[in-house]
């Protein structure tokens, strides 16, 4: 399976998560992505980092709730849960408070908002677990190779860090030494930092040995054409997107956006002439890749349409307190994200 298809699928689910605060729909998105990860995750360190992304998402949710309790919320509420001692602040800090009344409406609003961000983080973790960023780097255009390397190094930092922590904690348990608490954290932290420094030095040496950053000589006319196409394409994408988001630009938004995308792609293709790298066994983009990417895009498009036509069901209110309901056809749209679990054959070498 092409890694770009998995990343498009996961990022589309993340886009769908930004269109709703309904906890039932967000939980359905998390469950669908978790099921696909459980059945098709890749045997790489990035796949083992998926639980770390889930824990990070839970931490974000708890921090959002903590901020709502300590710093208050602009949401008015009548159901007071507890009252904290309020710290008086100077007049220039108006609008901010420390302590005071904590209402059920404020906590529920913070929980909805935090769950949306947590779902987005879990979708990014699913992308890391299903497709290695290193494989995705091979599919990038030559003009974006250097930028892609920087992004891949940043994306693989967390998985390798998690793998190092797990390895060192297992070694300490075998030696009968503590691996939990503050003492265990301090004694594990130094070897982890040392390993990260060694990997950085090894990566720099490998990139230098492979001639990273070298470029071919191209005529000045080609360089100027590449710059004009890329810059014009980006401006066209911005203008077309603005046209789609405004009522006045509905007539020219789509043509300008398509023209901008075409010009940007042409500029990237010309810019790839400066790259001297070669591809070894490139991943094919077949019908299954189209189905995987298309299922995620369909979920994002349908939830975007639902948020415009029925915003109340996708954004349940908190004032007054009402129980969220499960809208049927947006929920059925989310079930389309399970399509990769059935159309993509599972590698028997991959863990279940």
Whether the Cβ atoms of residue 260 and residue 234 lie closer than 8 Å to each other = yes
| Whether residue 292 has pLDDT greater than 70 | yes
Least confident interval from 111-120, 156-165, 187-196, 250-259: 156-165
Give the domain-ending residue among 246, 274, 302.
274
Higher confidence at residue 20 or residue 101?
20
Candidate ranges 62-66, 134-138, 276-280, 321-325; pick with highest mean pLDDT: 62-66
| Structural domain includes residue 196 | no
Encode burial over 120-144: b for 16+ CB neighbours within 10 A, e otherwise.
Answer: bbbbbbbbbbbbbbebbbbbbebbe
What does the alpha-carbon distance between residue 139 and residue 289 come to, in Å, rounded to a whole number? 13
Structural domain boundaries enclosing 231:
216-274
| Structural domain includes residue 126 | yes
Based on the structure, what is the number of domains in the chain? 2
Mean local confidence (pLDDT), 144-154: 65
Give the domain-ending residue among 274, 302, 317.
274
Give the domain-ending residue among 249, 274, 299.
274
The per-residue pLDDT for 351 is 41
In angstroms, the first-to-last Cα distance of the chain is: 17
| Whether residue 186 has pLDDT greater than 50 | yes
Phi/psi at 87 (nearest 5 deg)?
-90, 125
| Structural domain includes residue 320 | yes
Confidence of residue 246 (pLDDT cuts 50, 70, 90): low
The per-residue pLDDT for 162 is 72
Show the tokens assigned to 328.
């049927």
Confidence of residue 258 (pLDDT cuts 50, 70, 90): confident
The per-residue pLDDT for 235 is 86
**All residues at 6 or more sequence positions from 228 whose CB lies less than 8 Å from its CB, including other chains:** 267
Whether the Cβ atoms of residue 266 and residue 232 lie closer than 8 Å to each other = no
Higher confidence at residue 181 or residue 247?
181
Against a cut of 0.85, is the pTM above it? no
| Whether residue 33 has pLDDT greater than 50 | yes
Confidence of residue 338 (pLDDT cuts 50, 70, 90): very high
| Structural domain includes residue 155 | no
Nearest to 46 by CA among 203, 205, 162: 162
| Structural domain includes residue 201 | no
Tell me: do 130 and 250 sit in the same domain. no
| Whether residue 65 has pLDDT greater than 50 | yes
Tell me: do 76 and 112 sit in the same domain. yes
Tell me: do 109 and 12 sit in the same domain. yes
Tell me: do 115 and 240 sit in the same domain. no
In the DSSP assignment, the letter for residue 285 is -
The Cβ of residue 20 has, within 10 Å, a number of other Cβ atoms equal to 27
Mean local confidence (pLDDT), 305-314: 86
Q: How many CA atoms lie within 13 A of 344 on its CB side?
A: 30
Tell me: do 338 and 229 sit in the same domain. no
The per-residue pLDDT for 117 is 92
The per-residue pLDDT for 213 is 60
Give the three-state DSSP class for 165. Answer: helix
Tell me: do 127 and 9 sit in the same domain. yes
H/E element, 87: strand 80-87
Q: Return mean pLDDT, the chain.
A: 79
Higher confidence at residue 294 or residue 279?
294
Tell me: do 14 and 135 sit in the same domain. yes
| Structural domain includes residue 165 | no
Q: pLDDT tens digits, residue range 91-129?
A: 776 667 777 788 888 888 889 999 999 999 999 888 888
| Structural domain includes residue 9 | yes
Tell me: do 126 and 230 sit in the same domain. no
Tell me: do 234 and 332 sit in the same domain. no
Confidence of residue 142 (pLDDT cuts 50, 70, 90): low
The per-residue pLDDT for 334 is 93
């Amino acid at each position: 399976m092409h890694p770009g298809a998995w990343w498009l699928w996961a990022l589309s689910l993340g886009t769908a998560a930004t269109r709703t605060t309904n906890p039932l729909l967000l939980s359905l998105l998390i469950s669908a992505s978790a099921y696909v990860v459980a059945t098709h995750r890749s045997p790489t360190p990035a796949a083992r980092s998926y639980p770390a992304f889930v824990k990070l998402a839970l931490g974000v949710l708890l921090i959002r709730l903590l901020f709502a309790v300590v710093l208050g919320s602009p949401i008015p509420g009548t159901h007071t849960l507890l009252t904290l001692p309020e710290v008086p602040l100077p007049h220039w800090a108006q609008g901010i408070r420390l302590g005071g009344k904590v209402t059920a409406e404020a906590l529920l609003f913070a929980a909805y908002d935090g769950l949306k961000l947590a779902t987005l983080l879990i979708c990014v973790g699913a992308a890391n677990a299903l497709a290695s960023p290193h494989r995705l780097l091979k599919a990038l255009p030559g003009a974006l190779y250097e930028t892609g390397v920087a992004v891949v190094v940043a994306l693989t930092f967390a998985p390798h860090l998690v793998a190092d922590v797990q390895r060192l904690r297992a070694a300490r348990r075998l030696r009968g030494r503590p691996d939990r608490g503050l003492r265990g954290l301090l004694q594990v932290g130094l070897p982890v930092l040392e390993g990260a420094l060694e990997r950085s030095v090894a990566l720099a040496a490998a990139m230098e040995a492979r001639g990273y950053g070298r470029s071919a000589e191209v005529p000045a006319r080609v360089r100027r054409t590449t710059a004009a196409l890329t810059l014009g394409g980006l401006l066209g994408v911005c203008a077309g997107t603005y046209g789609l988001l405004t009522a006045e630009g509905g007539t020219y938004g789509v043509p300008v956006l398509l023209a901008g995308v075409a010009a940007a792609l042409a500029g990237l293709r010309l810019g790839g002439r400066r790259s001297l790298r070669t591809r070894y066994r490139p991943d094919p983009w077949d019908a299954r890749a189209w189905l995987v990417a298309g299922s995620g895009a369909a979920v994002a498009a349908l939830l975007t349409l639902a948020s415009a036509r029925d915003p109340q069901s996708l954004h349940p209110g908190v004032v007054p307190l009402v129980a969220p309901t499960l809208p049927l056809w947006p929920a059925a749209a989310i079930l389309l994200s399970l399509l990769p679990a059935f159309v993509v054959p599972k590698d028997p070498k991959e863990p279940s």
